[in-house]
Every structure is written in structure tokens, then in C-alpha cells.
Amino acid sequence: MINKVFTNDPIRLYKTKVEQEAMKAAISAVEKELGKDYPIVINGEEIMNDAKIKSIYPCQKDMVVGYVSKANKEQVIKAIEIANEKFDMWKNEAQEKRSGILMKAAQIMKDRRYELNAWLSLEVGKNYVEGDAGIAEGIDFLEFYAREGLRYAENQPVTKWPGEQNIYKYIPLGVCAVIPPWNFAFAITLGMTAAAIVTGNTVVLKPASDAPVIAYKIYEIFKDAGLPDGVLNFIPGSGSEVGDTIVDHHLTRFICFTGSREIGTRIYERAAKVNKGQKWLKRVVAEMGGKDYIIVDNNAILEDAANDIVKSTFGFQGQKCSACSRAIIHSDVYDELNELIVEKTKKIKMIDIREFDSDIHYYNMGAVINEAAQKKIMDYIEIGKKEGTLILGGNKGPENGFYIEPTIIKDINPGDRIEQEEIFGPVLAIIKADSFDHAIEIANDTDYGLTGAVHSSCRTHLEKAKKELMTGNLYLNRPCTAAFVGVHPFGGFNMSGTDSKAGSGDYLALFLQGKLMSEKVY
């Protein structure tokens, strides 16, 4: 019996000796497991292929986290066919059982929390606190969607009609292609997969190629929690090689994607085509990039604004879809706030995430995910140096990893490239606004609409911001990152995606279709 009340799992801040020692022990234990081979999994069968994805630790390029078998095209098709076959069984399974498996998986994750954090932190270069926040979010998704699954399984309310018994209920869709990003390799992969499974759909999961080992751990946990074979099929492989096959296949019923605008729009377009043998219009949930901002008004508490800008910009090296990449500052406080932001950012160290420092751990940055990302970010820094004035950073860090210094470029103009395009790295563009209205205009003037924050002590301005900012997740007098499941439903407008609002009461509806059954009563 699942207790109806959902509560968020608290994040560990690693301030106590007990937590620090436990994490160090977990890292040491995981280090002994590095470099192993991982299979693809179809219908419960674990298959090792010769072609492998090499997953490395971004802070130490020569450290291999694991070698994960790459599925070939035939195996991808097989996985989709199996998922389609298993759908008949899984859709008829009792909701209590499906929700119960999620709760059991959540408990396994709680029991393995430090170890999972160690795998995640090593595979993507998160510091311990950021890593733990990801594990906690994953647990929250499971416990939240388990309860939501029970709610959606009930008959839904309809208006009474004389002489008829009307039943309206939700049923699952079919085979779901889950395509997650690497940056929230645990929480987002898990959230999308769990939502599909709990609602009675079957899944082919193609993990991100930069984080396939932690995705395999997710598969393993579902299996240990009792998920039947074939409900979740694990098919790693490069998106450019197998992505189209998954998206185009006539048995793929819907696609649940989180990643870049470029790939999201490609999937959206391809999914619109009705292929031979296909009986439905494919549904696409596509959550994409952002060009997020923090507006600072001339009456804001500058110390708080600076802290929130630094935290939101440089947390996890700026590699969050919600990361602040634009500080839009009222001209009256522009110079003063710039100084504060620089002073605080100077405290950030580039670290191997295993070098734990409990005083300033939250800001300490690992390396960015890979060489291509490092190059792309450095290219944007060069563009930014021409568009504005570099006031901090701008260089690569230690050569052993893909490091980039926390970088700040001021005097950027609305419309400049680093003001418009997603960089996805530790780079802050600072833009001067003539007035609060001008700041709103600048904030709204991109193709994206994911997160944003406003710092102001003027109630009229805060209310105006609520009305006028076209931002899926708008925060007032707080950072623009850190959304908690159930508390801050998450998803963006415009080119940030379909606004699916992960972690909300609406989310599971995207994995279901409504069926009405109307019977004449004699």
C-alpha cells in the first residue's frame, strides 16, 4: 500500500564528516569497478557487442568509466519489436504492481545513494552536491510518478447523463522511445523512463553517449525491482547512427526526448511523417535548450542577486538547461553589481571532483563534458570577447581534463550572439538595461523561454514580471536553477520545447490517451 503523501527526498550537502567519509568510500569502491564492459539489453537478454562507447571521466581524460556496447540497427529494430510485443502484457498489469515497482526501485536507489552518486559524479564531472541533487531528483520522480500513476488509473470525472453509464479513463499509448541528455543523466533518464513504464507503456531507452554507464545502472535497478523482461530495453548507440531508426520506426508510438534544440526539432519533424505500416500520429515530448536570465532591478538586494547569479551560472559548469547565461542589470546598479559578481566568482575553484572541499563545495567546478563541448564553449568565448569586454576567465583550465575557467563578459548588447545562443558552459553575458521595462524586453527577446529570475524589491515590478515574462519557469528573488519535483513543475516555452512540465500533475497525461466508454442502462 503506497502512502498518498509525496515528500521530496532531502539533498545531502556533505557538511558532516559522516557524509564526507561515506562519499569518499563510495568513490574508492567505484574506482575499483571502472573500465568494465556493459551490454545492451533486449527482452532481458544482455548482449555484448564489439563496437563500444568509451565513457570517460571529464576531469581526467585518460580515466575510462566504462565501455558500453553499441546497438546496431538490427538490434534497435529488434528492441522496438520486443517492446511492441510486451506492450499487451504490460498495459494489462495492475496499476498497483506498476507503481509498486517504481517505489521499490526508489528504495534500492536510497540504499545505493552514495554509490550511485559516485558513478554519476565520475561519469559527468558533477561535484558531490550537484551529483546528490541529481540522485535525489531521480528518487523523487519515481515516488511522485508512482502515486500519480495510481491517480491516473482511476476513472476520471464525467457529467452524469440519464439512461447511460459513462466511464472515462486513461490508457497507455504503446512503445515509447526515451532519448535523454547527458547533463541530468540520472534524473531525466529516470524521470522519462519511469513515467512511460508506470503508465503501462513499454520502453526502448537510448541513453546519451556521454553517460551510458549510469543509464545501465538505471536499467539494473528496474530489473532488481521486479520489472518484467522486455518492458525496458536498453539500446545505447550514437544518436547520429541509430537515432533516426528509433524515431522513424512504424511501431514507435511516441518519443520522449530531452536535449538540444537542434536534435529536438529534427525529431519533431521526422516524427510527423507517417511511415509504411504506421497506424497512428506519433506523439513527441521534446524538452530543449534555454537562454536563461536573471534580471536585477535598481532596488534589488545586490548581495543576494550576485550570489544567485554566480550559483545559477556556474553550478555544474553552466551545463544545466536552466543555467543563467544572461545577467540583465539595471544601469543604476550595473557597475556595483558587476564588481560583486566578479568578486564572488573568483572564489570558484576548478577541481577534480574527488578533491572535496566542504567550505565552498557548491561552487567548485569540474570539467565540461567532452572535448567538443570545450571547443564550442571556447569558440563562444572568442565571439563574446569581440562583442563585449571580458572581465574574468576566458581560458581553458588544467590540461588533464576539459576544464574552462568561469568566464564573465560584460557590455554585451541585446541581439549579440552570446546573448541569443545557448552556450551550455561556464560563461556569463552581462547586459545593461536602461529601465525595468527594458530588462523585460531584453529577457523576452530570444527564441527560448525556459527559466528566468527577477531580483527586485518593488512589488509592482514583480507583478509585471509575472505577467510579461514568457518563461516556463519564472523565479522571483531566488536563483533560476534548482527545480524540485512536485514543487516546481519544469518545462519551457517556444524553442525550449513542448512545456511538458516534468514533475507535475499534468506530466503523466502525456504518456496516456483518454478512452470513453458509454453504455445504455436499461
Q: Which residues carry out catalysis?
A: 287, 321
Both ends of the chain: CA-CA distance in Å?
Answer: 37
What is the distance between the alpha carbons of residues 204 and 186, in angstroms, rounded to a whole number?
16
Q: Which residues contact 274 (CB under 8 A, 6 or more apart)?
A: 281
* Contact status: 503 vs ligand NAP (CB under 6 A): no
DSSP state at residue 505? T
Query: Site mask, ligand NAP, residues 138-177, x = CB under 6 A?
Result: ----------------------------------------
* Contact status: 321 vs ligand NAP (CB under 6 A): yes
Query: Site mask, ligand NAP, residues 438-457, x = CB under 6 A?
Result: ------------x-------
Amino acid at 219: Y
Binder to ligand NAP among 68, 179, 204, 510 (CB under 6 A)?
179
The span of 40-48, 197-205, 217-225, 232-240 binding ligand NAP (CB under 6 A) equals: 232-240
- Binders of ligand NAP among 194-223, rule CB under 6 A? 206, 208-210
* Contact status: 492 vs ligand NAP (CB under 6 A): yes
Q: How far is the CB of 466 from ligand NAP (least distance, A)?
A: 21
Q: Quick one: 183 or 193, whose CB is closer to ligand NAP?
A: 183
Q: What is the 3-state secondary structure (H, E, C) of 258-318?
A: ECCHHHHHHHHHHHCCCCCCCCCCCEEEEECCCCEEEEECCCCCHHHHHHHHHHHHHHHHH
CA dihedral 237, 238, 240, 246 (to 10 degrees): 20
Q: Which residues contact 67 (CB under 8 A, 6 or more apart)?
A: 35, 36, 37, 38, 52, 53, 54, 55
Q: Quick one: 114 or 144, whose CB is closer to ligand NAP?
A: 144
Q: How far is the CB of 76 from ligand NAP (least distance, A)?
A: 11
Q: Which residues contact 372 (CB under 8 A, 6 or more apart)?
A: none
In the chain, how many H helices and how many E strands?
A: 15, 21
Q: Quick one: 140 or 210, whose CB is closer to ligand NAP?
A: 210
SS3 content of the chain, % helix, strand, coil (to 5): 40, 20, 35
Closest among 516, 515, 508, 514 to 199, alpha carbons compared: 508
The span of 164-172, 272-280, 306-314, 492-500 binding ligand NAP (CB under 6 A) equals: 492-500
Q: Quick one: 179 or 337, whose CB is closer to ligand NAP?
A: 179
* Contact status: 260 vs ligand NAP (CB under 6 A): yes
* Contact status: 100 vs ligand NAP (CB under 6 A): no
* Contact status: 245 vs ligand NAP (CB under 6 A): no
* Contact status: 332 vs ligand NAP (CB under 6 A): no
Closest among 170, 237, 173 to 202, alpha carbons compared: 173
CB of 122 within 8 A of CB of 210? Answer: no
* Contact status: 289 vs ligand NAP (CB under 6 A): yes
Query: Site mask, ligand NAP, residues 397-436, x = CB under 6 A?
Result: -------------------------x-x------------
**CB neighbours of residue 315 within 10 Å:** 27
* Contact status: 243 vs ligand NAP (CB under 6 A): yes
Q: Which residues of 201-210 are buried (b: 16+ CB within 10 A; e: fewer)?
A: bbbbbbbbbb
Q: Quick one: 142 or 188, whose CB is closer to ligand NAP?
A: 188
Binder to ligand NAP among 184, 316, 334, 436 (CB under 6 A)?
184
* Residue for grid cell 531528483: 137
Closest among 281, 80, 98 to 200, alpha carbons compared: 98
Q: How far is the CB of 112 from ligand NAP (least distance, A)?
A: 23
Q: How far is the CB of 280 from ligand NAP (least distance, A)?
A: 19
Q: Which residues pair with 66 in a beta bridge?
A: 36, 55
Closest among 115, 139, 78, 144 to 213, alpha carbons compared: 115
HSE, CB side, 13 Å, CA atoms: give it for residue 24.
10
Binder to ligand NAP among 61, 91, 151, 266 (CB under 6 A)?
266
The span of 157-165, 239-247, 308-316, 374-382 binding ligand NAP (CB under 6 A) equals: 239-247
Binder to ligand NAP among 123, 130, 132, 287 (CB under 6 A)?
287
Binding residues for ligand NAP, per CB under 6 A?
A: 179-184, 188, 206, 208-210, 238-240, 243-244, 247, 258-260, 263, 266-267, 287-290, 321, 422, 424, 450, 492, 496-497
